[in-house]
Structure 1
């Protein structure tokens, strides 16, 4: 069942692991797709029913008219769960996926058990930053964004040491639909969950990258300080920490969810 209908739109999903195991729902970052979790799924699928989906406007999921909103992206996640008959699930989201996770925890907390929010922020200003990225995408396509994105995602020493991984990441960015990218940029631009997340009571793990230039350590620390039942882990990594530290990321999530 690779394509499901969510609120009348087509969403691309992948399911791994035992059908009777607890569900772990994964949510991808901006300008990525569900393949960003390929390093972790074989490990997690031994313990969980791993469900991945491409965000709206990304991968093989519908590219609808922009702009998008965090409310829309959150309702997409609820719709994926409904379409698959999932009542509750653990959550793991990185960057944009973590932002959607915060929406879930504040608007549909009964659907989430434990949540991992990795390399993310409750607010990401300024507005001009996101308007600039939207304009760059419209003028030059994803090719104009691929190298700046790679440089934000990974430190230079890792880029030099893992050329095959960098090629895989570049290909993933380049196949992101422009309208999906700009639509999700608008959702991030217009998001401010700093007050809402204070109501979260679920058990939450916040993963912070000590070298992250996009969602800085202070952004993660704000989330931790706002959620009463939150823990934190700091990786020696930049923004896409599950790619840079694949084994540590996989084991940390399992330890938290166990």
Structure 2
């Protein structure tokens, strides 16, 4: 794995990123879930960083990126990606986003279609509500003495009971990453999800799109994946038996679908 580098976004925030794989290959951007870091993809990078030049990054407020004060917007999260691509001199990419990363993928497909070659939207939604739920989560993370309760909530939402009970080596790094996270950064991204509503504009997406959902996802429901696939012209839909972090829970099936789709173009 390569080292973590940084660039400065337009508003002054420093954003962490990594590049893996040979220069000259098509670039694949991996964008992760809220409350995770770019290490969410560690299990996939060795396989992907042969056919692709893999670009990962930490959302603002997460991992090694800065955590500016205040609510973040999906527009700002999307511009962070565009500014990173501009900084690296990359004109066009494949994009795989999971959960919040899938929101960013939808935003890019709508607002920067010239930058997206093929688009994969995994375990995501065009809109989550009610707003009061996210307001409560924001209050919780900003007022709690630590993020242990929030970490426990995410573990239950992300993984099936079988993994929570047995595969501690799988779950522990995710739990630890949340405990080390900036409460302000997490609250900022909660606000971005709260305020996003892409249900109408996603029909404007023209990039070839694969939508992946988890049959047992408790947050971004399988019905949300079905809704996205129905709205985007020509989109493919794949529902896997699993919960939310399918790249971790179902890595073989997930990777087979991703590589098949990306190499079909």
For the criterion TM > 0.5, the same-fold answer is: yes
Q: 1:3 aligns with which of 1, 6, 25?
A: 6
Listed as ranges, the gaps of 5+ residues in structure 1 are none
Q: 2:218 aligns with which of 206, 213, 218?
A: 213
Q: Does 2:225 correspond to 1:247?
A: no
Q: 1:60 aligns with which of 48, 64, 81?
A: 64
Aligned position for 2:55 = 51
1:93–1:118 Cα contact (<8 Å) kept: yes
Output the CA distance in 2 between the equivalents of 1:135 and 1:248: 37
**How far 1:128 moved relative to its partner?**
1.0
Q: 1:195 aligns with which of 195, 200, 213?
A: 200
Q: 1:148 aligns with which of 127, 150, 153?
A: 153
Q: 1:74 aligns with which of 73, 78, 82?
A: 78
Q: Does 2:135 correspond to 1:125?
A: no
The ranges of structure 1 where at least 4 consecutive aligned residues each deviate by more than 3 angstroms after the TM superposition are: none
- CA RMSD between the two structures: 1.0
Output the CA distance in 1 between the equivalents of 2:217 and 2:20: 30
- After TM superposition, the structure 1 = structure 2 runs for residues 130-141 of structure 1, keeping only pairs within 5 Å, are 130-140=134-144, 141=146
Q: 1:166 aligns with which of 164, 171, 194?
A: 171
* SS of equivalent residue, structure 1 residue 145: helix
Give me the TM-score of the superposition, normalised by structure 1: 0.98
- After TM superposition, the structure 1 = structure 2 runs for residues 169-180 of structure 1, keeping only pairs within 5 Å, are 169-180=174-185
Output the CA distance in 1 between the equivalents of 2:53 and 2:171: 28
Aligned position for 1:115 = 119
2:13–2:60 Cα contact (<8 Å) kept: no
Give me the TM-score of the superposition, normalised by structure 2: 0.95
Aligned position for 1:226 = 231
Measured against aligned partners, the alpha-carbon deviations of 1:36-91 in whole angstroms (never above 9, x if no partner) come to: 00000000001100000001111111111210001111111101111111100000
Measured against aligned partners, the alpha-carbon deviations of 1:177-217 in whole angstroms (never above 9, x if no partner) come to: 11110000001001100001011111011010011001001
Output the CA distance in 2 between the equivalents of 1:54 and 1:155: 25
Output the CA distance in 2 between the equivalents of 1:248 and 1:172: 25
* SS of equivalent residue, structure 1 residue 42: helix
Aligned position for 1:94 = 98
Aligned position for 1:16 = 20
**How far 1:6 moved relative to its partner?**
2.2
**How far 1:229 moved relative to its partner?**
2.1
Equivalent residues, number: 258
Output the CA distance in 2 between the equivalents of 1:203 and 1:150: 32
**How far 1:155 moved relative to its partner?**
1.1
Output the CA distance in 1 between the equivalents of 2:254 and 2:83: 27
